[in-house]
């Protein structure tokens, strides 16, 4: 299960974007090759692969919103719960993320998304 907090600063905690995204797969004992593949795919889905070596606190608020969602994709959760008021995000970000999660649902990797808004 992925739990997405309202404020990305409460969730994004590592020194670089890559460390944040790879935290879950490493704790699930994925191999380095597998971790590299799933993290590249997750960051590539939202166009943040080029940001992989940046510190999260140097990203915009919108980029941190995207990042806090992408940290879960490499872990392949079957359920997401958004505590975030994501309806207030800019439309481009919202549509990109919904498209990403639609692919996950269609492929059977994600079964449900719940939101408080």
Please tell me the predicted confidence (pLDDT) of residue 54: 92
Domains parsed from the chain with CATH numbers: 2-115 (3.40.50.300)
Q: Measured between alpha carbons, how far is 25 from 31 in angstroms, rounded to an integer?
A: 8
Asked whether 75 and 2 are in contact (CB, 8 A), the reply is yes
Looking at the predicted structure, is the pLDDT value of residue 92 above 80? no
pTM comes to 0.71
What pLDDT, on a 0 to 100 scale, did the predictor assign at position 45? 75
Find, among 7, 20, 32, the residue nearest to 73 by Cα: 20
C-alpha dist (Å) from residue 103 to 15, 33, 41, 100, 117: 29, 23, 13, 5, 22
What's the mean pLDDT when you consider all of the chain? Answer: 76
């Amino acid at each position: 299960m992925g739990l997405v907090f309202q404020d990305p600063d409460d969730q994004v905690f590592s020194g670089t974007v890559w460390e944040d995204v790879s935290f879950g797969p490493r704790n699930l004992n994925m191999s380095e090759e597998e971790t590299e593949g799933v993290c590249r795919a997750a960051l590539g889905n939202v166009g943040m692969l080029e940001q992989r070596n940046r510190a999260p606190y140097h990203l915009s608020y919108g980029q941190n919103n995207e990042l806090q969602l992408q940290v879960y994709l490499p872990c392949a959760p079957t359920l997401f719960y958004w505590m975030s008021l994501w309806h207030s995000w800019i439309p481009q970000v919202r549509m990109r993320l919904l498209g990403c999660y639609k692919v996950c649902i269609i492929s059977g990797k994600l079964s449900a998304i719940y939101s408080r808004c």
